Amino acid sequence: MSHANELNCLWIPNVREKLKSLPFNIEEAWKNKNEAFQVPDAPGRDLPVLERGRRGERRGFSHPEGQARLLHDLASIELQAMELAYRSFVEFPNAPSEFREQMAELALSESEHLTLCLDRLEEYGFQWGHWPVYLSLWNSVSREDSLLDRLLIVHRYLEASGLDAGVSLLRKLAQSHSPALTQVVKKITEEEVDHVAFGSRWYQFFCREQRLDADHDFKQRLSVLSVQLPKRFEVIDPQVRQRAGFTEAEVKAAQELREQFLQEKKSSI
């Protein structure tokens, strides 16, 4: 690892060290984007990463271990979201400066979510790495993505389905009498509305710039990219999606893809 990459949060294996590298890293990235800030094939981890599909038994949210496990899963998501924001920041150096500033803020917001999850996890008496971690979010993007692809995949698919999941999780947690956990999920879900809205706003902006009809482009692009996306079966929540800048046509396109995934699942059984 070169000295430059020691500053780059994507390469740093230790999660707390990664967090410490922000936000100075982002300033450095701005200055040294050509040489220093390369994107690795997989982000640094100092614990084993498992393939999907081996998640094992989980305890319910009424049990402290089930609550800690949820925090661990959330931490893994927040970590990848932070890295993906950082990665887009590095890979799209020619995007408008306002976009880049907002992307840098988004990376910082994810780092706060991650810190919150790790701190609460430790309060439950568990360490990061107690359960397996995955890279399914990171693996959804590719070096070949256009900026529109990336905005769709990260903010308008992954984060948007996270938002649907957050809303339904809050409903479940309402019966679990775990105010500390509920507070974390509530804060993250509220702030994720802004992350998805960031994606919607800029997606629609870049479509206008390229003289594309955003509704039509979203439906088409979602369909093309769907082969590389992890399948999400969470019920789409139109209200929260609309708060996050989705048009009615875009909500419909998201619902149709979910239907398609459900059909595929049914016919594969």
Based on the shown chain and the rule CB under 5 A, indicate whether residue 167 belongs to the binding site for Fe ion.
no
The residue among 81 and 141 lying less far from Fe ion, judged by its C-beta, is: 81
- The answer to whether the CB of 22 falls within 8 A of the CB of 79 is no
Taking the complex as a whole, the smallest distance from the CB of residue 64 to Fe ion amounts, in Å, to 23
x-or-dash pattern for Fe ion, window 70-89, by CB under 5 A? --------x--x--------
Taking the complex as a whole, the smallest distance from the CB of residue 153 to Fe ion amounts, in Å, to 13
The residue among 36 and 70 lying less far from Fe ion, judged by its C-beta, is: 70
Taking the complex as a whole, the smallest distance from the CB of residue 234 to Fe ion amounts, in Å, to 15
**Which residues in the 197-236 window bind Fe ion by CB under 5 A?**
none
The residue among 84 and 225 lying less far from Fe ion, judged by its C-beta, is: 84
The residue among 164 and 192 lying less far from Fe ion, judged by its C-beta, is: 192
User: According to the 3-state scheme, what is the secondary structure of the chain?
Assistant: CCHHHHCCCCCCCCHHHHHHCCCHHHHHHHHCCCCCCCCCCCCCCCCCECCCCCCCCCCCCCCHHHHHHHHHHHHHHHHHHHHHHHHHHHHCCCCCHHHHHHHHHHHHHHHHHHHHHHHHHHHCCCCCCCCCECCCCHHHCCCCCCHHHHHHHHHHHHHHHHHHHHHHHHHHHCCCCCHHHHHHHHHHHHHHHHHHHHHHHHHHHHHHHCCCCHHHHHHHHHHHHHHHCCCCCCCCCHHHHHHCCCCHHHHHHHHHHHHHHHHHHHHHC
Taking the complex as a whole, the smallest distance from the CB of residue 89 to Fe ion amounts, in Å, to 14
Based on the shown chain and the rule CB under 5 A, indicate whether residue 148 belongs to the binding site for Fe ion.
no
Residue nearest to Fe ion (CB): 195
- Pick the piece of the chain touching Fe ion (CB under 5 A) from 10-18, 20-28, 37-45, 195-203: 195-203
Residues in Cβ contact with 235 at an 8 Å cutoff, skipping those fewer than 6 apart: 164, 168, 258
Taking the complex as a whole, the smallest distance from the CB of residue 192 to Fe ion amounts, in Å, to 5
The residue among 177 and 187 lying less far from Fe ion, judged by its C-beta, is: 187
Based on the shown chain and the rule CB under 5 A, indicate whether residue 195 belongs to the binding site for Fe ion.
yes
Structure tokens at 44: 């640094």
Total chain residues near Fe ion (CB under 5 A):
7
Taking the complex as a whole, the smallest distance from the CB of residue 225 to Fe ion amounts, in Å, to 19
The residue among 36 and 110 lying less far from Fe ion, judged by its C-beta, is: 110
**Which residues in the 111-130 window bind Fe ion by CB under 5 A?**
113
Q: Which one of 110, 145, 217, 250 is in contact with Fe ion (CB under 5 A)? A: 110
Instruction: Quickly count: other Cβ atoms within 10 Å of residue 207's Cβ.
Output: 19
Structure tokens at 166: 């957050």
Residues that bind Fe ion (CB under 5 A): 78, 81, 110, 113, 159, 192, 195
